[in-house]
Amino acid sequence: MNHGGTGAAGASGELRRVVLVTGPSGAGRTTAIRALEDLGHEAIDNLPLSLLPRLLEGPPLVRPLALGLDVRNRDFSVAGVIETVDRLEADPTVAAQLLYLDCRADVLVKRFSETRRRHPLAPAESPAQGVDRELDLLVPIRARADVLIDTSDLTPHDLRAEVARWFGDTTGRGLAVSVQSFSYKRGVPRGIDIILDCRFLTNPYWDPELRALDGRHPAVAARIASDPRFGPFFDQVAGLAEFLLPAYVAEGKSHLSIGFGCTGGQHRSVAVAERLADRLAAAGWQVSKRHRELERRGALAPERNWGSDGP
């Protein structure tokens, strides 16, 4: 999509900014829309796609638009959403992004069960049937996402924070960088642009004094840094990041996610992610950090509460 590169601008001399928010029912669209509204967007949920051209042809936009799209839209169709994405991408006066909120099927089923809501694609059947149908239906739209946030292990508070990291005002560099850690045992997170494997480094897990700690602890970080391979590895990774970020800015990219993986996602990947995030932040980049496995264990995440009306 058009992320604010060259091209004609609107009547105000600035690109009209539009965020399309979609994803499977129960993944957190309402929470994301509200978060964007808090960030200064004009939020419109369940807007019929046929009305979008008229909206953009109307008076100049004072604020960026956040438009919620899902299967309950009156004229929703996969082809219609993709056609809308293509139309916005071809319009040099629009800077548009497609935010896709993803979620594992088992988590979606659990959320519907907890809130006792019927799935819109299976009102007379089990939520699991509706979830499977919708995930299959949305595959082509998911593939077009500019920003993909997996909400499976996020609380509403976490999701709002993620939306703010990607769509909040950027200062200085104009590129939001997310540095994440994860465990290969639980699979590679979705939506990561660059993935690096830390499993060759010294593993503090085998030290009884360090096993219960994580990579944010100075003693753990020091043990990992003592590995003679760590210095050359980190210098090259940091150098690569510092080389690529200005190039992505020049390309018009608004966000970049870098992931570090290790066996358990507790020590090595966390320590390297923390160190790279600190280095990039010190250089003036807008950086956010996320440690998936620590969040899953409750070391970082607050109490989960999606509310009675769903995510």
Tell me the pLDDT tens digit for each residue of 204-245: 999 999 999 999 999 999 999 999 999 999 999 999 999 999
Question: What's the pLDDT at 7?
Answer: 35
Q: Are residues 32 and 52 both part of a single domain?
A: yes
Segment 32-52, tens digit of pLDDT = 999 898 888 889 888 888 888
Question: What's the pLDDT at 299?
Answer: 58
CA-based nearest residue to 16, from 57, 49, 58, 61: 61
- What is the count of structural domains for the chain? 2
Question: What's the pLDDT at 273?
Answer: 97
Owning domain of residue 221: 176-297
Q: What are phi and psi of 195, to 5 degrees?
A: -120, 130
Segment 161-175, tens digit of pLDDT = 888 878 875 444 467
Residue at 69 is within a domain: yes
HSE toward the beta carbon, residue 60, CA cutoff 13 A: 9
For residue 215, what are the contacts with CB-CB under 8 A and spacing of at least 6?
A: 181, 221, 224, 266, 267, 268, 269, 270, 271, 272, 273, 274, 291
pLDDT band of 284, cuts 50, 70, 90: confident
Q: Are residues 130 and 219 both part of a single domain?
A: no
Question: What's the pLDDT at 166?
Answer: 83
pLDDT band of 1, cuts 50, 70, 90: low
How large is the average pLDDT for residues 102-129? 84
Question: What's the pLDDT at 261?
Answer: 97
Q: Are residues 20 and 163 both part of a single domain?
A: yes
Q: Which of 119, 146, 167 is the last residue of a domain?
A: 167
* 112 neighbors 160 (Cβ within 8 angstroms): no
What is the pTM (predicted TM-score) of this model?
Answer: 0.56
How large is the average pLDDT for residues 97-102? 92
pLDDT band of 295, cuts 50, 70, 90: confident
Chain center to CA of 113: 25
Of the two residues 194 and 248, the one the predictor is more confident about is 194
Mean of all residue pLDDT scores within the chain: 83
